[in-house]
Structure formats: C-alpha cells, structure tokens
Amino acid sequence: MPAASMARPSAPLPALKPTKPLLRRSTLSGTVRKADDADLDADLLSVPPSPSKRARVTFNPHVEEKVMQGRSVEQIKAEVRRAIDGHTKGDSEEYDILKEVFSSQQRGQDTTRETGNEEIRKYVHALTNYVSLLGKSCSGLVKAVLDCDWLGRDESFLKAYVQFLGSLASAQGTYVPLVLSKLVDFFPGVRMSSGRLPGYPDVSRVQLTQRVHYAMKYVLRLIPSASATLSPILDRQFPFADETKKAHISYIENLVRVIEYAPELKSDIFSLITDRLVKIDVQMQTDLDDIEDEVAATIVQAISMQPPSGNIHEADEDSEESDDDMVTSDDESHDDAKRIKEVQDNVEKMDAILDLLFSLYEPYFSDPNSIEAATMFDSLLGHFQTIILPTYHSRHTQFLLFHFAQKAEYLVDSFAGTCVKLAFEDNRPAVLRQASAAYLASFVARGAHVQPSVVRVVFDTIGSNLDMLRAENELTCRGPDLRRFGTFYAMTQALLYIFCFRWRDLITSADVFEDEDPTAFLSQELTWVPGIKEMLMRVIYSNMNPLKVCSPPIVAEFAKIAHHLRFMYVYPLLETNKRIRLSQFSSGVANGALRETGSGVNRESWHQLDAYFPFDPYQLPVSKRWVEDDYVPWKGIPGLDQDEDDDDSADEEDEEEEEVDLEEDTATDDEVDD
C-alpha cells in the first residue's frame, strides 16, 4: 500500500484516502511501483564486517506511528497539515516555521536541544503522509527538506528520509528530477562534515557514499521510468574538465556503481565517461603542445616517480580541503610555474581516469570469447565511431580500443574491419575517412597481437582501394592536390607506415629470419606477398604523386627501408619532387584533409599530410602498464646504418642528411632502436 495513503490524521482533519492517480502521477512514461514492491534492504547502510558475512537489515517502508519522546507523531502530523493547508489559503506563517525546522538542520544547526533529533524524524514521518499535498506551491518546503543534513544521522532516520524521497517522487512526478539531482550532487565526493553531525555517531565517507546509493536505488526501484530522467542529470552534473582529479575519479566510480542497480543505464554511462575523457584528453594534449618538450618530459617523469596514492577517498579523511584549495608556494604564484602546475594536474587527472577505466573494463574481458566481452566491445566500437574518431586531438582515450581489441583474434578482426568500412564508405566526410585510415594503419603497425595474416589482408585491402581511386582520378589529375585527393593520400600514407613497421610480415620466404646472423637475410632474394610491389609502384608513380603530399618523415623512412630491402628505389622521384611546388596544383585552401589548421597557407607544409597516427607511443606513466605488452616499439633494421655509409649516390646522401627518424617525428616520446 502506498506510503502516502497510510496517514491517519487526528480529528478534525479529514483522513486522506488512497486514489489511483497518487502513484501514477508522474511526468515520466512508464510504471510506478508501490513502496512495498521496491523490496529494498539496508545492505548499503553500513560496511559489512567481512566479504563473506554481510549485515542485512530489513527495511519496512511503513511509517512508524508511535508516541516518542516529546510531542507525538500525531501532534506533529496535525501541525504539518495545518501549515500546508494555511499556505495554500494564503496564510504562510506556520508554513514558514515548518520550512525553518528543516533549514535549521543544514550544517547541523539546532540539533542539540533535548528532542531536536527525535522531532526532525517525526516531521519527516508527517511529511511522508502528506506528499500528495506537496504540489508546486510547496516547492520551497520540499527544497528545504531535500537540502537538510540527512546522510550522517542514525539508520532509523535514514530509512524514514529515504521513504519520504520515494513517496514524494511517486506522488509528485515533477519532483523526480530534483530528488535525483540532489542525490547526484554527492557523486563528486561527500564532505566528511556530513558524517559528523552533533548528537550522532560519526559516519565514514564510505558509509556516506553507500547511503547515497541506498536512496538512489530505492527511488529507481520504486519508479523504474525515473532512469530516463537520471541519464541527462548524470550528464549535466559531470565535473567540468578543470575540476580536480579527486572529483572526477569519485564521480566516475559513483556512475559505475549506479550500473549495479540500474543496468539499463550502462550504455549511457560508459558513453558519457568516454565523451568527457576525450575532452580532458584534448585539453591535456593542447597544454603539452604549448610548453617546451623538456618541460613536458619532466612533468611525465615527475608523475611516474610519485608513490602510489592508494584509495583517493581515504587519503586524509580529516581534511575538508579540495585539491585546488591547497596552499601554493611563492614560486607557484608566478604565471609560468602556475601554468606548469595546471598541466601536471591535467596529466595526473587523465592518467588516473584511464587507469580506472582500464580496470573497470578488464573484468568484462576475463573471457574474451564470452558474450559479455563481445557486447562490451560492441559498446566500445560505438564510442569509437561517435566520440573518439571525430576528435582529431584525442591522444590516449583510443588505447582502450587498442588494448581490448587485442584480447582475441575476432576482436582484432572486428576493430580492423570497422576501420576499413569507415575508411572506404563514400558517404562519409573525407576527414573521417582519412582518420579511419590513420587508425587502421596505426593499429595494424603497432598492435603486438595483430597476426601477420591480418597485416597482409589489411595491406591488400587498402592497396586494392587505392588502385581503384588511382584509376578513377588519374586521367583528370593535373598534379598532387591534397584538397581533391585527400583520401587517396591518407590511404597511401597508411600503407607506407604499415610497411615501415611490419615489412617482415609482408615477406613470404619462410626461412628468411632463421639464421642466427640478423643481417643474413640481406644476402637473399626476398619474396614479397604477390602484387604489393606492383600495386605500390602504380600508386607512387601516378600523376597524383603521393610521395610529394604524404608526411616527409614517413616518406623518407619508407624510401630508406624499401631501398635497403631492395623492394623499391624511389630516391630519383624524391629528388624530382623537390622542384615541384604544391601550391600551383592546389584547388583550394579548405581541403578538409586530416591535418593541423592555421595560417601560412602558402607554405608547402600546408599542402602536405600530417604524420598523424593515433597509437603513437603512450605517454601516461601510471596507466601505461595496461598497454606495454600490446605494443610494437620501433625497431631498427639490421645492417641499415652500415649500408648508408657505403652509398655512392650523392643525391641519396643529400636526401638522407635531411631525414628525421620516423619514430621521433610521429611520436611524442622517445623509443630506442633495438
């Protein structure tokens, strides 16, 4: 039976009768359960003594109507009824006094008088019986009740208060967003002062957080359709990017906890976390790009040397200061020092959030071949297509895909196949197609668990599509033009990048690398996958001239490796390209190509692709542990350096003097040749 219909007010007030609309009156679609049907226990009220033995207290939702110390429940119910009736008739004197009863409970005021703690619970009982009367005109009273300090009181008060929240939300659907929003307010972190109210035993932060979810769980079970209202609230109240690491971690942990009792929000919650993480990622990378490389390296090194922080919520339980309330030194008051501190805080925040996300996703992939793993990976792929891929400056968020895609061969195929599909769909914007090609190349080149067979299939797939693009456009092509043929150049650059990292997988000779001498294979005639050499020759020597438009460091590295392996000799073409001005062939500035924006449109570099490969070395020092075994570092080619010294071509020597190591130009940290 609904809590709001159980009131038995004393004469002369008329008794309230249950009506059908009482529990169905809601602005949300869906059903509303009775309080009895919510079946909520008190597991969340206290920390269990051990994982195997949990304290369980049954929650009887019926209002307890016994005479307690001081005035009885019946007397206070009569007072509450008079106050509400008088307010609706224009006499708000008693109503304002009633509001003050709850307003004075904020920050623990006025709770030391003899019956203060008991009376506030009686008022909650009384209001629970009259929730049907708390319409829009009583919103001030409702807000006063919702704002009072309730988390740190005893369990009997907590149960009464949570029942009030459920009854209010059931009887007055317009208050559902407000009730949920007040609960979500605690997600960035509960203040310890909330658990240290006068007249009550201290309550730990862990227990306070459990009580928040106790209330949230009760409301959502009572009104299942309320989850549709909760989702946008979770989005709206997510901490801003410049808020503290502590606030972000706490909020995300609470979001994940909501999934336990509202699984229908799982997709929305993980999508929200990914969206906000990408924004922090972009800001962090922008900040790092704005400071000197040496300073950025020092920041990362400093974070990596910090001792593990343990549970972020248990650190300094007695402190009420937030991370950004700490006193700074005189040096940090200087603008430069302050800027560096901000950058370091952002890097730490990003690192901590990603470390948390890896740990949250990991259990879903404990059995990579399970339905649970496949479902979660589909969700990750959805986030990739809608959130990560369109964000050009995302630097680390995508490593969630990189790591979990390599858990099983079918997941590798799924991610690679998605990138191929996105890269070659004609109806997609050119910039997304080019980004997809970059993701595909970077994943195949860098993924330690990407099998040689996958490398060959991807190389052949890209090559076949390139051949078609070349055939369709070569006759009308005047010369290299990034605006007109941006996708063609992005695909070509993807092939060059894959070749530089995975050329060993494109060789079909089975015994090439069996000799103990790492340079022995150079004396052999290498057998390459059929057709790839001919395909690359047609592409590279076409009128579209991709080696002039692709990123110079990648072109230089490809030329060096291809020549060393006797795969292809392109130095004469590179020399000819030095005399070509790309600006004379450009059909416009707004090229939509995957590259940085800025001024200087007449510079040659403006008409060339950036060396953008999303899985370049992972920088974040703490969360880096998740991807270290998944990653192919840059490896030098045996004998390549010695051969360079013996080269007789003057043109080639000039070209090599200008070359910059591929890895140093496409990554933000250093890797040493093995």
Nearest to 9 by CA among 170, 132, 172: 132
Answer for the pair 355, 626: CB distance below 8 angstroms, yes or no: yes
Nearest to 237 by CA among 223, 222, 251: 251
In the predicted structure, residue 270 carries a pLDDT above the cut 60: yes
Q: Chain centroid to CA 565: how far?
A: 42
Considering only residues 264 and 69, tell me which one the structure prediction assigns the higher pLDDT.
264
Nearest to 487 by CA among 430, 440, 436, 544: 430
Mean pLDDT of 336-356: 89
Give the residues across from 447 on adjacent strands: 631
The structural domains of the chain, with segments of one domain joined by +, span 3-237, 238-310+332-397, 424-674
- What pLDDT does 521 receive? 62
Give the residues across from 632 on adjacent strands: none
- What pLDDT does 324 receive? 43
Nearest to 614 by CA among 444, 394, 420, 431: 394
Could you give the CA distance from residue 174 to residue 64 in angstroms, rounded to a whole number?
27
In the predicted structure, residue 235 carries a pLDDT above the cut 50: yes
- CA trace torsion 609, 615, 620, 624 (10° rounding): -170
pTM equals 0.79
- CA trace torsion 664, 592, 583, 663 (10° rounding): 10
Kindly report the number of other CB atoms within 10 A of residue 346's CB atom.
22
Question: Residue 663: phi, psi to the nearest 5?
Answer: -65, -35
- What pLDDT does 330 receive? 52
Cα–Cα distance list, 524 to 157, 505, 639 (Å): 83, 16, 14
Mean pLDDT of 39-55: 41
- What pLDDT does 606 receive? 75
Residue type, 166: G
Tokens of 606: 């403006």
Per-residue confidence at 342, pLDDT binned at 50, 70, 90? Answer: confident
The rounded mean pLDDT for the chain is 80
Residue type, 399: F
Cα–Cα distance list, 261 to 209, 247, 647 (Å): 15, 22, 69
Mean pLDDT of 554-566: 94
Per-residue confidence at 285, pLDDT binned at 50, 70, 90? Answer: confident
- What pLDDT does 33 receive? 57
Nearest to 184 by CA among 208, 212, 205: 212
Mean pLDDT of 338-363: 92
- What pLDDT does 392 receive? 80
Mean pLDDT of 605-622: 87
In the predicted structure, residue 136 carries a pLDDT above the cut 80: yes
Q: Which range, 45-54, 135-144, 322-331, has the best average confidence (pLDDT)?
A: 135-144
Could you give the CA distance from residue 346 to residue 353 in angstroms, rounded to a whole number?
11
Could you give the CA distance from residue 555 to residue 363 in angstroms, rounded to a whole number?
42
Mean pLDDT of 65-84: 78
In the predicted structure, residue 194 carries a pLDDT above the cut 80: yes
Could you give the CA distance from residue 237 to residue 242 in angstroms, rounded to a whole number?
14
- What pLDDT does 378 receive? 96
Residue type, 240: F
Q: Which range, 28-32, 406-410, 428-432, 635-639, has the best average confidence (pLDDT)?
A: 406-410
Could you give the CA distance from residue 616 to residue 618 in angstroms, rounded to a whole number?
6
- What pLDDT does 512 receive? 59
Could you give the CA distance from residue 352 to residue 616 in angstroms, rounded to a whole number?
20
Per-residue model confidence as pLDDT tens digits over 437-469: 999 999 999 999 999 999 999 999 999 999 999
Per-residue confidence at 408, pLDDT binned at 50, 70, 90? Answer: very high
Per-residue model confidence as pLDDT tens digits over 290-316: 777 777 777 777 777 766 554 444 444
Kindly report the number of other CB atoms within 10 A of residue 155's CB atom.
13
- CA trace torsion 479, 485, 491, 495 (10° rounding): 0
Residue type, 219: V
DSSP letter, residue 53: B
Per-residue model confidence as pLDDT tens digits over 167-188: 999 999 999 999 999 999 999 9
Mean pLDDT of 523-548: 91
- What pLDDT does 12 receive? 43
Nearest to 238 by CA among 212, 266, 271: 271
Tokens of 259: 């999934």
- What pLDDT does 484 receive? 85
Considering only residues 4 and 443, tell me which one the structure prediction assigns the higher pLDDT.
443
Cα–Cα distance list, 478 to 94, 521, 538, 569, 601 (Å): 86, 41, 17, 24, 20
Mean pLDDT of 35-50: 45
Q: Which is it for the CA torsion 535, 635, 594, 581, positive or negative?
A: negative
In the predicted structure, residue 424 carries a pLDDT above the cut 70: yes
